[in-house]
Amino acid sequence: MTVIVGLVHEDQVYIGGDSAGVGGCRLTIRKDPKVFCNGPYAMGFCGSFRMGQLLHHAFKAPKPKGELDRFMTTKFVNKLRACLKEAGWARKESEQEQGGTFLVGIYGRLFIVYGDYQVAEPADGYAAVGCGNEFALGALHATATTDLTPRERLTVALAGRRQPSQHGRLRALHLHHRAPAQRTAPARSRPVHEGDGTHPQGRGACGCVNRWSCSTSTTP
């Protein structure tokens, strides 16, 4: 049961996700992450790993300019559509293009991009996508007024996705994305990753600062 969770805390966006790849009755722990950086963006996807690979490695995410809502629903989505179409992944149903669902963190704001390319920003400051999203949303709501840290809240939300039938080691990758001092400033933010230890220490390819730690668990 896949779930990607995100929340906003003190103008920072935190995104977490599981590492499971499910096909039929088979569950595989994947090394390639569901949560990652692309330029100044933090992203986390559910559904097709092929779409996630395109988001991670092929999508030339444009730098935000001007009013962020307008930018995300126009220039960002148009670039995304072109990338998925060029790579042969985008689908068309009843003459309407279909993409995939994922979370995007940028400049201290959290967005959801849905399969029809609509862009939503949750008013509650948290979101979850994937087939386990209802469990995660309940956990995020229940912990909203507690003194848990953002990472602890994500961990609780991700733990709710597991079922006794899902055996094996599950890993969570947590990432937070800082907003610049002024959202309209061109200065680039520096996300911080924490995950399964596969990313080298130091500066990442996206220019972020990486602090990786093991975050694994085993289902009964």
- The reported pLDDT for the residue numbered 119 is 98
- The reported pLDDT for the residue numbered 11 is 86
- The reported pLDDT for the residue numbered 182 is 57
- The reported pLDDT for the residue numbered 117 is 95
CA separation for the pair 183, 71 (Å, rounded): 13
Q: Give the total number of structural domains in the chain.
A: 1
Q: Provide the total of helices (H) and of strands (E) in the chain, helices listed first.
A: 5, 18
Q: Is 2 helix (H, G, I), strand (E, B) or coil?
A: coil
Contacts (Cβ under 8 Å, ≥6 apart) of 86? none
Tens-place pLDDT, residues 96-151: 788 899 999 999 999 999 999 999 999 999 999 998 899 999 999 999 999 999 98
CA distances from 172 to 2, 48, 125, 154 (A): 11, 18, 20, 9
CA separation for the pair 8, 178 (Å, rounded): 10
For 43, the token pair is: 């992203």
Tens-place pLDDT, residues 140-189: 999 999 999 998 999 899 886 555 444 333 444 455 666 666 555 444 43
Structural domain containing residue 60: 4-218
Type of residue found at 135: F
Look at 146 and 204; give whichever has higher pLDDT: 146
CATH number, domain containing residue 186: 3.60.20.10
